[in-house]
Amino acid sequence: MAQQYRALPDWKYRAINQDFWDDFEAAMKNKNLTAAFALVSERQDHAKSLERVELELATILILQERGQTVLAYHRALSLMERAPGSMPALRALGVVDELAQREDFDLTEIQRLANIGNFNEAPAERIPLLSYLVILENKDAAKKKWAKSAEPGLNPNSYWGVLYEIQKTVVNLPEKPDERDLVTWKVLAKRAEKFPTLKTKMLLQEARFLQSLNQSKEALEIYAALKPTGREFGREMFERAWNLYNLKQYSTSLGLLQTLKSSSMRMAIEPEIYILAMIAYRDLCHYPAVHIMRNQYLSVFGSTLEKIKAGTALEDLPILAHLVAQAEPWSKMANEITLLKTQLNALNSTTPYPEQFGLQLNAESKELEKILIQRLKLRSRPELRRQAERLIALTEQMQLLEYISDLQEYKLNPTLDDRTYRSEKATATGGNGLFWAVDGEDWKDEFGTFKVLVSDRCPVRKRGDQK
């Protein structure tokens, strides 16, 4: 059987070479990775086929322990494919499961391996992952009954059981969720609490719910508790800026947007920040700033836009690639590539590997990076197109926004209500310029303290004025 996995209760790894494995496990237990690695190196030249697979497993475990999780993950996948169903492969499945949960890695490869029928038994604790992958494989292929048959394998309290429940809930959410949906969400979030990656995702989503329910203050409280990194950091800042805008905290909102424009945030580049800034400036009747925003937008995205129009292959446009890398589910793959690069830099920083092996890992990391980039490019082609379409649409929207802003400027008495907003005082040194220069690389520590000093310039309509 392939898609229906037989659970092996109380599964334990039975070594190919028991003596070697006992020594290896002892070294690992003592965190003596050098000794563990030496054991592997010693056997390397003498080992025969299945024992070599066991040595590979040992190397994967060392890499995992050393924090080279991307390499460990992909080596484990490769081992599973080479020696399907073997003892080392079943242990490697454990590595994949643990890392997929911890690092939120892309599941495409393991999904493929779990659905081709190369092995049919697995440790009981891995059945939830395998069942989840079977469901995933069958969810969109008009094979729902097959997906259904895998559901019993999902332990509802496991990571994959909870994740599946979350995904089902998301699918069933109405376009505009209400308070009841929020309550459902919070109940589910409680179940996800024990899994850090899921917990963060749930909180983020909750903040978005709150924003859509006009509870921006509560949403901001959640954002304050989150500690995002990389691309997520940019996205969350943008969402915070929206919430601050909703609360009419224009200075802080614009300050965040300004930070997002800095060169160090290139990875999290987002065209909509310019739109939000334009809306904010228009609200405050800073009409020339609306034009400046559009010009800034064009200076960043203009050349990409021109190339899209001229029919340049979309995969050759780096800005589009950045936009794709922020969109679900591609961000997972993109994050994996970024992490691989970070881990490559750290390769020899603590306990160095023997020179030869270090070189091999180096080359392997670079090769893997190429493969992952290629895969991302290949799979995300529709998303690339979607992002290009979005960019064109946003540019048109921006044109419209500029036009509306101009109209408003030329109106004698703009009818805006509750005009009480006043400029805030600067919290950091700097002039009273419209924009705060954020070019340094130390912005992250100061994040949230920068503000654009701007006050409401709209003339207040006096009581009794004609509309």
Partner 1 sequence: MKNLIVSLFVLISLGAAVALADPAGNKAQLAKIQSSIELTKKKIRSTREVTFIPDLQFVMAELLLQKARLMYIVKKESNPKAKPDELDYAAEKRQVMEGIEQLRLIEEKYPNFSGLNKVLLTMGLELRKIGNQEKALQAFKRLAERNPEAAYASRAYLEIGHIFFEKKDYEFALDHYKKVTALPAGPSTAAANYKAGWCEINLEHFLSALTYFEKVFPESGPETLVSEDQAEGKKSDLREDALLASVWPYSELSEKEISENPRFLKPIEYYESQIQDKVILRRTLRRLAQRLDFKNRAREASEIANTAFLIQADLEESLEMMEVVFTMNRKAKRNDVSVETFNRIADNLWLLKERRREKDLKKYEPFFREMLTKSHSFALSIKRVEDLRALVNAYETYLKIYPDSKSAQGVLINQAEAAFVGQEYLRAAHFYTQVTERKIPKEKAKEFYDSAAQAYALALENIEQLSLMEKAQARTGYRNLTALYEKSFPGTSNLEAMKFNIGKNYYDEQSYTQATESFLKYLAAYPQAPHTTQAAILLMDSYYLQDDLKSLLSQGQRILGLNVLPSTKSKLQQVMQEAKLKQVQSVAGEFATKKYAEKFLEVAKNSGNSSLGESALFEAYNSLLAAGDGKFYEVGDQYLSRFRTGGHAKDILNQMIKTALITVELGRAANYMLLYVSHYPESSEAANYKSQAVSLMEMTGQADEAIETNLQNKNLLHAAELAAKFGRWEKMQQISANIPGAAGLYYQGLGFWRQGQKAEALALLQRCVSEKAETGSADLQAHAGVILAENQIEDLLALQKEAFSVPLLQKILELSKNTNQTLQGVLQQQSGRWSVASLAVTGRLNLELARVLSQAQPPASLPVEAFKKIVDPKIADYSQGAKAANERCLDLSKKEAILSDYTAMCRTEGKILVTEAAEMKISPLGKKPAVSMTAEIRVQLLKAPKSVEVLKTALKLNESEANFYGAYAVASRITEVDGASAQAWNLLGKAALKISSRGEALTAFQAALKIDPADSVATQGIAQILNPSGKRLPAAGSR
Residues that bind partner 1 (CB under 8 A): 1-6, 14, 81, 112, 115-118, 120, 137-138, 143, 145-146, 149, 308-311, 371, 374-375, 378, 385, 388-389, 392-393, 396
Shortest distance in whole angstroms from residue 336 CB to partner 1: 15
With respect to partner 1, which residue has the nearer C-beta, 117 or 196? Answer: 117
Shortest distance in whole angstroms from residue 338 CB to partner 1: 20
Contact predicate 207/222, CB 8 Å: yes
With respect to partner 1, which residue has the nearer C-beta, 32 or 149? Answer: 149
Residue type, 265: M
With respect to partner 1, which residue has the nearer C-beta, 194 or 381? Answer: 381
Shortest distance in whole angstroms from residue 310 CB to partner 1: 5
Q: What is the DSSP letter of 349?
A: T
Non-local (6+) Cβ contacts of 326 within 8 A are: 231, 234, 235, 268, 270, 334
Three-state SS string over 116-133 comes to: CCCCCEEEHHHHHHHHHH
Q: What token pair was written down for 162?
A: 């909870």
Token pair 């940019």: residue: 234
Shortest distance in whole angstroms from residue 260 CB to partner 1: 25
Residue type, 415: T
Contact predicate 275/397, CB 8 Å: yes
With respect to partner 1, which residue has the nearer C-beta, 138 or 258? Answer: 138
Shortest distance in whole angstroms from residue 137 CB to partner 1: 7
β-bridge pairing 121-123 and 6-8: parallel
Shortest distance in whole angstroms from residue 392 CB to partner 1: 5
Contact predicate 446/428, CB 8 Å: yes
With respect to partner 1, which residue has the nearer C-beta, 140 or 418? Answer: 140
Shortest distance in whole angstroms from residue 272 CB to partner 1: 16
Residue type, 14: R
Contact predicate 314/304, CB 8 Å: no
With respect to partner 1, which residue has the nearer C-beta, 118 or 362? Answer: 118
Q: What does the alpha-carbon distance between residue 11 and residue 435 come to, in Å, rounded to a whole number?
A: 62
Residue type, 155: N
Shortest distance in whole angstroms from residue 112 CB to partner 1: 7
Angstrom CA distances, 89 to 15, 77, 122, 191, stand at 12, 9, 10, 31
Shortest distance in whole angstroms from residue 362 CB to partner 1: 18
Please spell the DSSP secondary structure of 286-299, one letter per residue: -HHHHHHHHHHHHH
With respect to partner 1, which residue has the nearer C-beta, 18 or 172? Answer: 18
Question: Among 29, 18, 26, which residue's Cα sits nearest to residue 54?
Answer: 18
With respect to partner 1, which residue has the nearer C-beta, 7 or 226? Answer: 7
With respect to partner 1, which residue has the nearer C-beta, 134 or 241? Answer: 134
Q: What does the alpha-carbon distance between residue 236 and residue 239 come to, in Å, rounded to a whole number?
A: 5
Q: What is the DSSP letter of 268?
A: G
Whether residue 152 is preceded by a cis peptide bond, meaning omega within 30 degrees of 0, is no
Token pair 């079943």: residue: 90
